[in-house]
A and B are shown apart, each in its own frame.
Chain A
């Protein structure tokens, strides 16, 4: 990515000298107003960033550092209590399970989504008949509103009337309490999340595959490589930049997944599918008495986690760009 923007800007620079020659009269006059125009273009963006990113983040931080009760929320006089909310959250018996579930949920979702997405991308790259149609069908999970897919999954996985248990029954397997057993609920929401995430991975990896020149494969074929070797020696390394961004975006999306879990299990039973995201919602909005402070603290932990991985990504990118 870094290298491509690099060449792009170099390309622009190369065109630059041609311009003043084409329109010589514009340039000098534009000096003063140009700066104003530049600011005018920048302003909406700045206003947008301030109103929709900086302020909410600031408010969220502020919420997490104050002792908000419903009363002080309304009066706006909540006392500053430093990191007490964070301490409270960390000491809460839900914290360790929620953190573990978040890690398991995110890792399992990413590995499966990426693996299956990659396999499908390579498969569809063969350009057989109807491959475009089939590929379009695979996008359906992505197009469906989350509430629709999550509700459908929760019907399918229903212990009593779900189609999955009926199917298992036909095969002679005992029904599984997918959503209502503490041993299965996390697995169930992971399955649903993987299903929803596959198209995203498929699309990005497929477009990455299209960027690999066909000649390389032809050359490799001449050298007598097997398909397996071609994948591990050529496709996989050449896809590395695309894979990295796919995984990073996937990670950020998965960390904050809330709707699927909330609709399917509400984080239960007995916190067995609670992640940091659902816990944050549970604290802030899930009961009759909102606990804004601790809820915001958990939300901030998630933001920090996503930010940390973002920085790791940039780091890796830079190193790759440097060696290349």
Chain B
């Protein structure tokens, strides 16, 4: 066990050296699941470090373990760390029994051969919504079960809209949104805030507009794609959106909205808790598509997966754990805690019955699309990187939307060849 710890730590150091800059991969040495007593101990990794051992989430994990007749050891990691942690663990033959991971990462881990298919482990995914399940599928195989979904919509500040004479229910296409933003700006308030940062977060926020204009990720420089980038660029030029969006994360963008000066903010389901603390009246509308109707937003949220183990007899118990975590009753509890929308219609209905405010989110999730869907799989991250770069280049004025996208398309085509 110590040798495991040591080699893993050494590898952590190797990776840290990889970034001469010093971005460290703090690799804590973990006890592996070998040995006698460990046969009854199952490890679970999740990206919810905000929950401690007394939380409902961990209580649920323990309970599912007890029901399956095993002890569960759970570790919560920061979501950005989890991909590399999972890859390292797989390299060391040290994967957790159950891994809960952000949906666009599933195809990467599957590509690495570290995840079992639901077919192998006999997990039932039939009740899951197809558009949510799509993010966990590649090459006709499914690599996990969604535990919950979130997506993006537009929050609005009622007072600001009222003062500018804008009725939020009329904001159903881009033209109406532009008109609303012009009115708000004319009334001396700020229009809209979002996040266009140079990371996956930026692509996540841009996709509803990109897809909403009818563009496809396989062809970034289409006229539709250019229209979407131009929409954002024009907002900055006209002062409808602040220049700070180029560096905004979704959290800093929310802080701008919380200041009370903004009419609209593009943000996610997870801000619902914070929305109640805003101190002004807010509402939520779906992100409009160019020609009207709700735009397909990308799905966020995690998948429960079963990583490949040397001892395949462990899958039976892991399967029980996953089935327990994704059973209707437990989904309702978990998704309420996480402020997510459930991946099944039955639970979604229950959620709306409990909290009618969630209706708009359930509809948004139904219209949403997986980023790695359309059989993009591991091509998505490469395309996404070029996409956020193009958006940043256009917003900062260093290139025109058309030029930025043309360049992005050729770079993405080269990278995904």
Name the interface residues of B8-54: CB closer than 8 Å to any CB of A.
10-11, 13-23
Interface status of A246 (Cβ within 8 A of chain B): no
Interface status of B396 (Cβ within 8 A of chain A): yes
Segment of A5-13, A15-23, A105-113, A175-183 engaged in the interface with chain B:
A175-183
Does A299 lie within 8 Å of B393, measured CB to CB?
Answer: no
Residue of A nearest to B371 (CB): A288
Q: Mark A264-280, 1 if CB is under 8 A from B, else 0.
A: 01111111100001101
The minimal Cβ–Cβ distance linking A58 to chain B, given in whole angstroms, is: 8
Interface size on A, residues (CB 8 A): 59
The contact sample of 28 A-B pairs, CB cut-off 8 A, is: A56-B13, A57-B17, A59-B17, A59-B18, A60-B17, A63-B18, A73-B91, A73-B112, A74-B91, A76-B91, A93-B411, A161-B256, A180-B244, A180-B396, A182-B398, A256-B20, A257-B21, A259-B21, A259-B23, A268-B389, A277-B19, A285-B23, A287-B382, A287-B384, A289-B378, A292-B18, A299-B20, A299-B21
Does B90 lie within 8 Å of A290, measured CB to CB?
Answer: no
- Residue of B19, B21, B384 near A288 (CB, 8 A) is B384
Write out the residue numbers on chain A whose beta carbons fall within 8 Å of the beta carbon of B392: 268-270
Residue of A nearest to B255 (CB): A161
Please, how many angstroms separate the alpha-carbon atoms of A290 and B389 in the complex? Answer: 17
Write out the residue numbers on chain A whose beta carbons fall within 8 Å of the beta carbon of B87: 70, 73-74, 290
B-side residues, CB < 8 A to A, are 10-11, 13-23, 83-84, 87, 90-91, 104-105, 108-109, 111-114, 197-200, 242-244, 246-247, 256, 259, 378, 380-382, 384-385, 389, 392-393, 395-399, 404, 411
Does A295 lie within 8 Å of B18, measured CB to CB?
Answer: yes
Does A270 lie within 8 Å of B11, measured CB to CB?
Answer: no
Does B380 lie within 8 Å of A288, measured CB to CB?
Answer: yes
Write out the residue numbers on chain A whose beta carbons fall within 8 Å of the beta carbon of B17: 56-57, 59-60, 299
Interface status of A258 (Cβ within 8 A of chain B): yes
Interface of chain B, main secondary structure: helix
Does A287 lie within 8 Å of B246, measured CB to CB?
Answer: no
Interface of chain A, main secondary structure: helix
- Residue of B14, B22, B389 near A259 (CB, 8 A) is B22
Does A288 lie within 8 Å of B83, measured CB to CB?
Answer: yes
User: A284 with B111: in contact, given A76-B91, A268-B392 (CB under 8 Å)?
Assistant: no
- Residue of B11, B20, B105, B246 near A59 (CB, 8 A) is B11
Interface status of A316 (Cβ within 8 A of chain B): no
The minimal Cβ–Cβ distance linking A56 to chain B, given in whole angstroms, is: 4
Interface status of A114 (Cβ within 8 A of chain B): no
Write out the residue numbers on chain A whose beta carbons fall within 8 Å of the beta carbon of B247: 154, 158, 179-180, 265-266, 268-269
Interface status of A39 (Cβ within 8 A of chain B): no
Write out the residue numbers on chain B whose beta carbons fall within 8 Å of the beta carbon of A59: 11, 14, 17-18
Does B200 lie within 8 Å of A70, measured CB to CB?
Answer: no
Please, how many angstroms separate the alpha-carbon atoms of A208 and B398 in the complex? Answer: 45
